[in-house]
Amino acid sequence: MLHVQTFSTKGIKKMNDRRPLIAGNWKMFKNGPEAVAAAIKLANLLGKNHDVDVMIAPPFTALAQVSDAIKESRLSLGAQNLFWEFEGAYTGEISPAMLVSAGCEYVIIGHSERRQYFGETDDTVNRKISAAVDHDLKPIFCVGESEKERESNATFSVLDKQVTSGLKGFSSNQLKALIIAYEPVWAIGTGKTATTDQAQEVHRFLRAMLENSYGNTLAKSIRILYGGSVKPDNISELMAMDDVDGALVGGASLDPETFSGIVHFQI
Ligand code: PGA
């Protein structure tokens, strides 16, 4: 039987079977003790209410400690990246199995900062998603256009290429736990947020792509998050959009009180 959740935001009713996910990407901020303190504070602020999935992704060095600290809470743990090999002579890299043993349930893959500063390509993103899937880690696959691409009307062709290449070779069965994050590069850390219409238009496009390739059932179940300057005061209107199923939050996830304000969007 289909489990349907109803969310009411500013009078707009939203009905689907997708459980919202609010994910915090802590990037290269917080050492071990700082991450643990923030995670505990956040867990206390959020309490045990389970209407929304909440994930935090601290730096690698804090993962195991944070995992211990949030065991009894509603928080889940994610990593910000992985390497696709199981083990080997790959200095500086972290394998999917290591993330699992550190307590991770999710992994962010293909963030625009990784594409921009660390040479990630659609091909490496594809291999990383595959490694995550093989180890039962839920991949949060990031896509998004640059400002220049949006201005030259290339948004949809850029996204089409990123999604098609990133998901090349997967069967619908392998993508059951996939999460997509639409993060327009021009909105990340800039204070500029996509309008709700811009976000909805892209999310609808992405869902239609999934439907074309994998069918309606999978397309309807995959969560598509919005990311880029999400804050407590813009989350509710974004979440009111039909195809926006959550958020990937950078800057505003670092402060537990602010992040908890985002998690409590639906009221
Ligand atoms: P931001 O970052 O919320 O600081 O814009 C989002 C992200 O990079 O995932």
Q: pLDDT tens, 97-140?
A: 999 999 999 999 999 999 999 999 999 999 999 999 999 999 99
Rounded Cα distance, 52 and 263, in Å: 7
Answer yes or no: are the C-beta atoms of 203 and 179 closer than 8 Å.
Answer: no
**For residue 16, what pLDDT band results from cuts at 50, 70 and 90?**
confident
Let me know if 111 is a catalytic residue. Answer: yes
Chain centre distance of CA 193: 16
φ, ψ for residue 255, nearest 5 deg: -100, 120
* Mean confidence (pLDDT) of the chain: 93
Answer yes or no: are the C-beta atoms of 162 and 143 closer than 8 Å.
Answer: yes
Hey, whose CA ends up nearest to atom 2 of ligand 1? Answer: 250
- For 21-263, give the CATH class: alpha beta
Answer yes or no: are the C-beta atoms of 169 and 231 closer than 8 Å.
Answer: no
Let me know if 237 is a catalytic residue. Answer: no
- Ligand 1 centroid to residue 85 C-alpha, Å: 28
Q: Beta strand pairing status for 53-57 and 75-79?
A: parallel
Q: Where do the domains of the chain lie?
A: 21-263
Q: Beta strand pairing status for 138-143 and 21-25?
A: unpaired
- Ligand 1 centroid to residue 187 C-alpha, Å: 8
88-97 pLDDT, tens per residue? 999 999 999 9
Hey, whose CA ends up nearest to atom 9 of ligand 1? Answer: 250
Ligand 1 atom closest to residue 228's alpha carbon, by position in its atom list: 5
Hey, whose CA ends up nearest to atom 6 of ligand 1? Answer: 250
Place of tokens 């079977």: 17
- Ligand 1 centroid to residue 89 C-alpha, Å: 32
Alpha carbon separation from 46 to 51, 121, 138, 246 (Å, rounded): 11, 36, 22, 16
Question: How many degrees, rounded to 5, is the angle at CA 252 between CA 250 and CA 258?
Answer: 150
Given its phi and psi angles, is residue 128 left (phi above 0), alpha (psi -120 to 50 degrees) or beta?
A: alpha
* Chain length of the chain: 267
Ligand 1 atom closest to residue 188's alpha carbon, by position in its atom list: 5
Q: Could you tell which of 141, 182, 183, 231 is best to mutate to test the pocket of ligand 1, judged by most ligand atoms within 8 Å of the CB?
A: 183
Report, in angstroms and rounded to the nearest whole number, the Rg of the chain calculated over CA atoms: 17
- Ligand 1 centroid to residue 88 C-alpha, Å: 32
Q: What is the mean pLDDT of residues 205-224?
A: 97
What one-character DSSP code corresponds to residue 218?
H
Inform me whether the pLDDT recorded for 74 exceeds 50: yes
Ligand 1 atom closest to residue 25's alpha carbon, by position in its atom list: 9
Place of tokens 């989350």: 235
Which helix (H) or strand (E) element contains residue 67? helix 63-69
Rounded Cα distance, 203 and 40, in Å: 33
DSSP string, 45-56: HHTT--SSEEEE
What one-character DSSP code corresponds to residue 102?
T
What pTM did the predictor assign? 0.94
Q: Is 37 exposed, middle or buried (0-12, 13-18, 19+ CB in 10 A)?
A: middle
Q: Could you tell which of 229, 253, 255, 262 is best to mutate to test the pocket of ligand 1, judged by most ligand atoms within 8 Å of the CB?
A: 229
Nearest to 75 by CA among 97, 58, 53, 59: 53
Lowest mean pLDDT among 59-63, 152-156, 157-161, 187-191: 187-191
Chain centre distance of CA 229: 14
132: tokens are 């995550």
Hey, whose CA ends up nearest to atom 1 of ligand 1? Answer: 250
- Ligand 1 centroid to residue 189 C-alpha, Å: 5
Q: Catalytic pick from 120, 145, 183, 203?
A: 183
Q: Catalytic pick from 72, 111, 145, 149?
A: 111
Any residues with Cβ below 6 Å from ligand 1, and which? 25, 183, 188-189, 227-230, 248-252
